[in-house]
Structure 1
């Protein structure tokens, strides 16, 4: 059974207590706050033949089949590979499932995550099923970035804003999930995950703190002319491309903020404060803005799964960065 999170209690009671459900829900919010678990919990509740209170019973035929991953009236649509788009052929297979009769005589429930992984053709192929799903069908769409969805997708769903945990809830959950970690380490992970505890745990499993140390040390060597953009670009193969662009975009933002406020407390994590302060003092604001706009443009291409040459892209990123000081 999917994990129940304390910060979802009020929303869960609202969803589970409904006598009638919408044909499509769009569950959205930042990544790492438990949206997938909420969708799976609701999916189990909708398919259960003998619900007990707010949750599925876990013991009926439907619950047992769902737990075994062989429920005939359940369909999960997600990218075939990590960070790849959902293809139109996958959506066509889903559409074929929608028009079938429920084999257990109850509901059919479909879960799609992340919805923004569908390209325009795949999204358009889903529209009719979203508007008029046959039989007693409920679609649960999970989105980390609803702004990237077609308006026609959003308009056909009941939109549900998933709650974010407060700091105390995030810290408590992460301490339980990573019992061997130090408080300072968990605080740094939560900062890198923008406060999302599940994302913090995922980043920890990916070795993000080691990756962060490698990148920050590389940036310092770059600015001291101890390493070239090409050398660094080739050495960062293990660091996710989107993570790199997120960090550099945040750093450009912190530089601009310091240039306007001179507030050292707003320079982010300690590992880059001195570097960002130096760049803020040595760089022309217009140049920083140009670099930030370029980073954002390339980040959108990465999000859009564009076919990019990773090394050349990172070389260009670092070339922009190394040109900042002295641009006044």
Structure 2
């Protein structure tokens, strides 16, 4: 059975209590808030032969087959490799599944995650199945970035914004999931995961706090001219490129925010407060704005899986960052 999260209780009651289900759902929201678990829970309910109290029974033939991964009437579509697109040939396999008769005589259910990974041809190949799925088929699309989906895909789905846990729920969940971490470590993980407890757990497994310490130390040495952009680009090889651009985007925003407000409560995480304040005081606002626009543009290229030269891109970023102080 898919895990049930307390922050999804109200939404689940609404979804599970329906007499009739839509033929296509789009579950969307930030990464790491349990959207896939919700999709799997809905799939289990829709396929269950004896649902009980608004949930799959977990014991009928359908539930047991689903738990074993051998249910003939469910189909999960994902990229063949992490961070790769979902291709048109994969969608054609899905379409062939949709037109078949359900082997257990009930519904067929499809889960697509992340839906935005479909390339243009794949998304277009899905449209007819989304609009008129054969038989009693339900398609459940899961998206971390619904803005990247085709309008024609979104318009054919019932869109459901998935709730985020509040601070107390995230803290409680993380305390149970990471009992070995102390309160400060959990606070840092939640800050790095923008409040998402599930993403925080994933980031912990990836060593994000160690990565952050390495990058923050490198930025300080860059500004003191103790390290060059090329040295840091090489030293940060193990840090995902998108994560680096997320951090630099956040820092440039905080510098600009402090220049405009002088609010010392709005300097971000403690590890970079003094650096943000220093750069805000030493940099021309127009230069910070130019840098932020550039960082956002490059981040979009990274998101779009553009064929980028990582080392050159990081060196360009760090060279711009090093030029910020003294630009007044």
Q: TM-score when scaled to structure 1?
A: 0.99
Task: List per-residue Cα deviations over 1:102-158 (Å, max 9, x = no partner).
Answer: 111110000001111112111111111101111100000011111111111110000
Cα distance in 1 for residues equivalent to 2:210 and 2:128: 46
CA distance in 2 between partners of 1:91 and 1:232 (Å): 41
**DSSP-derived class of the 2:218 partner:** helix
- How far off its partner does 1:277 sit? 0.7
> Within the alignment, does 1:180 sit opposite 2:180 as a pair?
yes
CA-to-partner distance for each residue in 1:217-275, whole Å, 9 max, x for gaps? Answer: 00111111111111110111110111100000000000000000111111011111111
Q: Distance in 1 between matches of 2:20 and 2:149?
A: 26
Partner of 2:223: 223
Equivalent residues in 2 for 1:51-70 (5 A)? Answer: 51-70=51-70
What are the equivalent positions in structure 2 for 1:1-328 lying under 5 Å apart? Answer: 1-328=1-328
What CA deviation, in whole Å up to 9, does each residue of 1:29-65 have, x standing for no partner? 1111111100100000000111111111111111111
- Where in structure 1 do 4 or more consecutive aligned residues deviate above 4 Å? none
Q: Secondary structure at the match of 1:10?
A: helix
| Residue 168 (structure 1) shift | 0.4
Deviations along 1:76-96, one digit per CA (max 9) or x if unpaired, are: 011111111111111111111
How far apart in 2 are the matches of 1:187 and 1:83? 28
CA RMSD, Structure 1 to Structure 2 (Å): 0.7
Tell me the secondary structure at the aligned position of residue 76 of structure 2: strand
Where do 5+ consecutive residues of structure 2 fail to align? none
Q: For residues 124 and 11 of structure 1, what CA distance do their matches in structure 2 show? A: 30
Q: Secondary structure at the match of 1:141?
A: strand
Give the structure-2-normalised TM-score. 0.99
